[in-house]
Structures are given as C-alpha cells and as structure tokens.
Structure 1
C-alpha cells in the first residue's frame, strides 16, 4: 500500500476477520475442488467446512447491511449440499444478488467462480474478494466527451481475497464467471481490480516486449508509473474500452450471445481497444500516452505469453494483432536468429484505423448472427491458422517470436496481492 491508497482504517478493520478466519477456510475448500467446482468423494469434513464458510460470510453480509446477499448465499449452499458436493455448484442466486457498490464504497462477494488468469488451478472454485470501488478522478469530464450509453463497469481496489484473486493475474468479475446452470442474458456488473495492473504490467508485459522489440521502439510511457497514476490510466482505459462495446451496428448489450462466440469476440476485443488507442491519439483523453503504451504492450506482448495461449481468448487477440501490425508495416524487420523487430508508432496507428474500417465493413455486410460468425471466423483464420484438436489456433513460425520471454516468465512465482496492496 502507498500513501495515495484511499483505504481508511475502517476498511482495513473490516477486512481483518475475512483475512484471519474466512479466507483461509475458503482457500482450504477450493483446494478440494475440481475445475468444474465439484468435490470428488466429498466427506463430512467438506460439508462442515462449507457450512462454516457460509455462516461466516452470511454474518459479514448481515453485519454490513447486505441481508439479500446473505439470503442468496444461504440458499445456494443449502441447494448444493442437498444435491451433493460432487455435483457442479449452482450459485445463480448469489450471482444475481451481487449489486455493484457506489463509488467510494466497499463490496464483498463469495461464490464458486472462474478467476480467469489467476494462478493455477483455475476453475469454478470457491473464491471471495473484498474491495473498494474507486472510479478515476477524470471520469465525470471524460464521460461528457465519450458518453457511455449503459455503463455497468466498476473500477476496484482489491483489499483482500482468497487465492483465486490474491494469487496471479485475475482482474475481472463478470456475472458469467459465477458457477451456475443457466446462462446470463444481461451483464449487470463488470468489476475490475485495477490496482493489480502495475505489478502485472511491469512483471510480464514489459519483459515480453523487450524480448521482441528494439529498445528504442518499445513504447515507454507506461513504464515506472506511480501506483495511483497507473490505476487512473488503467481505469480510464477500462471505461473507454467498455463504452466502445456499446456503439456501432452490433452493440454488445443487444448481441451478448453472438459477441461471446470465440471468433466474433476476438475481433470485438481488438476493435474496442483499437478505438481506445485512437481516441487517446486524437487528443483530449487524460493519460493518453500511458494508455496507448499499456494497451499495445499488454495486448500484443503479454497476453500471448499464457501457458494455454492456443486456447486462450486474450492470447488469440494479441497474436492476431501482432500479425495484423506486421502485415501493415508497423512491426518491421526479420525475427530470425534472435533479431529484434521495430515498432513504428505512426504505422501502428494507421494499422489500427485500417483494422476498425475492416471490421466495421464486415459488420455492415452481414445481416444474421450466422453470417457474422462465419465472416468473423474467416477473417480470424487469415491470421490464426487452425490448430490441433482442442486448440483454437496454432502459432506460425513468425508469430513464435512472441514467446521468446515465456520460459523465463514461467519460472517466476505467481504475483501475490497482499492485504491492501496498491
């Protein structure tokens, strides 16, 4: 934690019973679960432990005026115990009871959920987090220039959490992450732990870029940022990114199921980040250069480092964008024999404009979901060739340059985010 961290003694005091009693129990229970959330050959001890976790969490909820969350958790746990812990958990009540906190307020949540990109094992395991919502100071003014038609995103400081949140790179909580038998039709919250970004960015993205790019062409504006500046820049990126999802011919909120298709979603994610970069480049956005550098370094040079890159959605966006930039002269040079590539800023911006034009032309030409999916798959396959069974794609020889830093990065221990770390 730094002096700039807006955490009061009351926030920290409320976190203590969670860190001293509840969270260790959650970590013990999640270690008993498989990836689908089930407990193999559950014992009476497992049932007792889950009941104690539920009781402590419900007591916290009620003590803090969140009786509706307590009622939902109590019912979800009772239903799981009745069905048997060797069946997949169904926590739709808890999922739907979670309401985003107001800016400056805290939120606590406990459920089996997918903590994407956290330290292995990752699955629909029991996890919890306690966090403070802190929106960027520039947001009210920014929202005038870049209005968000349906803003449901929350920028959070993770104060404490179980292993799925405290270990590794998980930044997000969406309703669809929560273990449940039904599918959501409306994304009523999207919570982002942006205080984790600085450590993640400097530990993985910067070395990943340095292994590929000449030193003079690495975007440097996001390097060595003060923790509060990095938080503000990342939160603004998050706002702009999300706002772009809701604009255009096929807005995300009206086509959620379509946009969750792997190929459609991949193009969509790159599109909204490209639009964010160009908004920053066009002027009037706070921390513009910091955001441009952060987006490019994260998307192209960190995401492809994932161990499951050929199945990982975010990794696919980075590998695709790398080849798009290569094809348009934004990344030049031969990568053979360890040679470094050069990134050209102007060519990168031009390539991103071309990308947006290409995707929006695709969107204008398709008239049905099936046509969109087929066209998206065809475009993605131009840059990400089909892989082996159960793999979404395979790396080409040229794309493998992105993996230069993976071996050294894989040897690093997972990042740990301690109580109230900024």
Structure 2
C-alpha cells in the first residue's frame, strides 16, 4: 500500500501529538512522572492503541511491540521511576529513502525548548535523499554511512518548537550505554527558517554584504543542507580516531570540541575546493552557524555547541589571517579562512594520533583551554575576550521558533 504524506501525518497530528504534549507536562527532566499519576496512566492508555495503529500503517509492527514492552516495564517499576526505552532503541531501524518513519520515546530534543531533558516526544519524518548526494558520495565514498536526510512532517513540542534538528541513538533514555551510532536522522527542512531568522541577520550586521547563502529556494536549502550533512558525517568517520569507533572518548567535552571543529573545517575545505554542489553556500552555512548562532544561546557558557563556535573564532582571530578589523567592524575573507583552517585541521589530527585515551583527553583539554578559558562554578567556559569585543552578545535572546507550518 502506497502512503501519502497526509494519511499518517493527520493521524499522528490528531491522535498522538496532543496526548504526548499533555503527558510531557507531567514529567521531570529525567523522564519521571512527578504528579497526576492517574492522568498519566490515562494518557498512556490512549496512546497505546494509537501508536500501534501508526506503526501498522507504516509497516513497523515490531516497533509497536517494543513501545508496549517499554511502557509495561515503566508501569511495573512505577511512573515515578526513570523510564528506559531499550526495547524501542534496539528495535528501531531508520527508514529507507522515500519511506516514512515514526518514533515515540523519552528523548532529549537537542537544542529544543527549555528545559532540556528526557521528555516523551514523538515525530513523523519522510526520508528524502537529494540527487546531489549521488555525486558527492561517489567522490567521497562513506565507509559506513549512517546519516539520513529527512523532512520533518509533524511531532511533539520538543521537536516542533525550537532548533532540534537531529535524532541520534543516544538521545533516547536507555539503560544500555550506546557504544556506536547506527543512525543519525536529520530534520533538514527546519534549517532554512533557523538560518534566515537567527544567523544571517547577524552575518549582515557583522560582516556586511556580499554573501550568497540567503538566496537559495526552500527546496534548494534542503538539498544543500543534506550535502553538508553528508560531508559532516563522512569526516566524522575518517581520520586517526573515527567518531563511531571512539564514541565514548569523543563524548568527553574537550575531545568533542576538537572533533566538531575538525569535521566542520574539513567540510568547509571540501565545499570550497572539491566539486561539491552548493559549495559556497555550504561553506557560509558552516562558518556562520558555528561562530555566530551557536554562541548566542542563552545558556552559552554551558552549551557544547556554543563552545565550539567560540573556540573556532578565537583560534582564527589569534592564528589566522582571514579577519580584518577596520574601525567599522570585522570583515571576513572566506578564501583566506579556508587556508587558515587547514592548519587547524592538522593540529587537531596530530592530537588525535595519541593512542592512550587518557593522555588524549589531557592534551585535548590543554589545547582547547588555550582558546576557551575556564568558567565559574558550573560554567564549562567563559566568553573569550576577543569574542566579547568583536562579536559580543548584542543580538538578544533567540526566539523560540515554531516549525508547525514547514513550507517543505
């Protein structure tokens, strides 16, 4: 049976999303139900048959069984206990191209609305891999591509409100520690609204005109963002310490900073120097998102992504030649930036060649701390002086974006 977008979307939007949104109001950040246990039980009773129906429509009946098993164990332990959805995580298989997929579980919506935690969330996606990826993957064959480009169709509050754009295995609350990433589902149709609302106005304010990344059509932005996603994941799986086989050590804060920056920089170089579709736009996306949007989060001093952006800016302004600082403000040369970051890539990979995990973490921390100073108390870092001087936090707190009416 061939499905249209309307059929599963209407059902999820009508029968599941409203209940999930009500249920998550009863939860603490660790997923426990903190009040109104009878109401929580009532919501779960209503969810069970609706979730099964969706999974049967999507030809995923085993996921319905996994969801029911996880709910049964949670109820047996008491809804005031932390929910673990190991059955759901073990059972989930990402969709093939042009297929729908649905997930419901207590999961962290990374960069979603506050507060951050393992709230019950759900989402329906359609996997859509743009044709441009065929040429890119032929040029840069991925050793084990686990990245899925998806269009978000509908979902609960944590997914539809705020900037959560990715779903990893480790986002689900589970007892078993995730040792490797078997999938990475990206909601790339959320990107254009984020970029044009939050990022590009800062580009114009700080660096002036002459950029091209605001001019693509909605569909082309999705395609370009998907190519960026492929490049990013490709470089995660290459180098002295591939991410998928070094997951636990790379979850270390300082190691993670270097991992993300290295991969971003490698993607920028590829976008500018290889025959990559939307290359100039992708390079601008990467650099501007990393340096201008991520550090502007209200929780910047404890936010990992903010730390990566601050680190990159500090490294470039201290070691590179891509910034000019005339009286009217900063100017950035993308061409010179590409040359600068090649050196940064080499320095990070030299640290990655350290074989001992503990020594690797020590050296990563020492290197990061040269550009990202220590914070106070629970802060992971302080805002570096140069960033505060030249970029600052004059943009105001980011708006909580609503993705319920995505144009693509």
Of 355, 362, 365, which aligns to 1:377?
Answer: 365
CA separation of 1:290/1:381 partners in 2, compared to 1, >3 Å: closer, same or farther? same
Cα deviation 1:46-77 (Å, max 9, x = unaligned): 11112211221122112332111011000000
Of 159, 175, 198, which aligns to 1:165?
Answer: 159
1:222 equivalent to 2:213? Answer yes
Q: Distance in 2 between matches of 1:34 and 1:209?
A: 38
Where does structure 1 lack aligned partners over 5 or more consecutive residues?
1-7
Q: Which residue of 2 aligns with 1:397?
A: 385
Of 302, 305, 312, which aligns to 1:314?
Answer: 305
Query: Is residue 23–residue 162 contact of structure 1 (8 Å, CA) maintained in 2?
Result: yes
Q: Which residue of 1 aligns with 2:119?
A: 125
Q: Distance in 2 between matches of 1:359 and 1:191?
A: 27
TM superposition score normalised by structure 1: 0.92
> How do 1:168-317 and structure 2 match up within 5 A?
168-213=162-207, 215-216=208-209, 220-317=211-308
Q: Distance in 1 between matches of 2:107 and 2:190?
A: 19
Secondary structure (helix, strand or coil) at the match of 1:310 reads helix
- Shift, 1:334, TM fit: 6.7
Q: Which residue of 2 aligns with 1:97?
A: 91
- Shift, 1:141, TM fit: 1.8
Larger RCO: Structure 1 or Structure 2 (Cα < 8 Å, ≥ 6 residues apart)?
1
1:343 equivalent to 2:332? Answer yes
TM superposition score normalised by structure 2: 0.96
Query: Is residue 122–residue 164 contact of structure 1 (8 Å, CA) maintained in 2?
Result: no
Q: Which residue of 1 aligns with 2:13?
A: 19
Query: Is residue 211–residue 405 contact of structure 1 (8 Å, CA) maintained in 2?
Result: no
Count of residue pairs the alignment pairs up: 405
Query: Is residue 109–residue 164 contact of structure 2 (8 Å, CA) maintained in 1?
Result: yes
1:421 equivalent to 2:407? Answer yes
CA separation of 1:403/1:129 partners in 2, compared to 1, >3 Å: closer, same or farther? farther
Query: Is residue 212–residue 404 contact of structure 1 (8 Å, CA) maintained in 2?
Result: no
Secondary structure (helix, strand or coil) at the match of 1:301 reads helix
Secondary structure (helix, strand or coil) at the match of 2:195 reads helix
Q: Distance in 1 between matches of 2:169 and 2:384?
A: 35
RMSD over aligned Cα, in angstroms? Answer: 1.6
Q: Distance in 2 between matches of 1:298 and 1:373?
A: 26
Q: Distance in 1 between matches of 2:11 and 2:45?
A: 17
Cα deviation 1:228-265 (Å, max 9, x = unaligned): 11011100000011010111111112211111111111
Query: Is residue 12–residue 420 contact of structure 1 (8 Å, CA) maintained in 2?
Result: no
Query: Is residue 278–residue 349 contact of structure 1 (8 Å, CA) maintained in 2?
Result: yes
Q: Distance in 2 between matches of 1:210 and 1:136?
A: 29
